[in-house]
Amino acid sequence: MWSHSFDTALGRCGVVWSERGIVASLLPDASPARLKRRHPTAELTTELPAHIAHAVDGIRALLAGEARDLSDIALDERGIPEFRRQVHALTRAIPPGQTRTYGEIATALGQPGAARAVGRAEGDNPFPPIVPCHRVMGAGGEPTGFSAPGGVETKRRMLLIEARAVGQLAGDQQKLF
């Protein structure tokens, strides 16, 4: 395994990868020391294979305000339970500028009573923002429970960046009359 940290508009982020794909991505405060603590067997490198450079560029662009789709980035989900993989797949299908609730994800999985389990799966997401768990809200669309540094404020900031990128903020929309 290998790791790399890089600067973004929100701060220093990081990725860890294997020959199969991204093993983990870390939102701001991903110093080389933090990467080493979280993934001690990963070799820190600045030499990136093309598919990892593509992932890093995509994360940077998304966090800089571009409506970037990261669903083509390969993930190495070995060791992740099937339910969480299904949550990841549905979460990756949420386009920039849109949100879903934990309950909506649970219902889409055919388990309408599993909103809390979806919340736990999102909270344990090892792939932010590649798996855009910031686009999943609590009941009533409230931005709750975000485990990245900065918590819910980081979630709100990421949603605001995406809303601007897709022209959803009032100042960015065309006038109706």
Which residues does the annotation mark as catalytic?
133
- Bridging pattern class, strands 2-8 and 136-137: unpaired
In sequence order, which residues have a C-beta less than 8 Å from that of residue 96 and are 6 or more positions away? 62, 67, 68, 69, 132, 135, 162, 165, 166
**Dist CA 68 CA 57 (whole Å):** 10
Give the integer Cα–Cα distance in Å for 169 and 19.
40
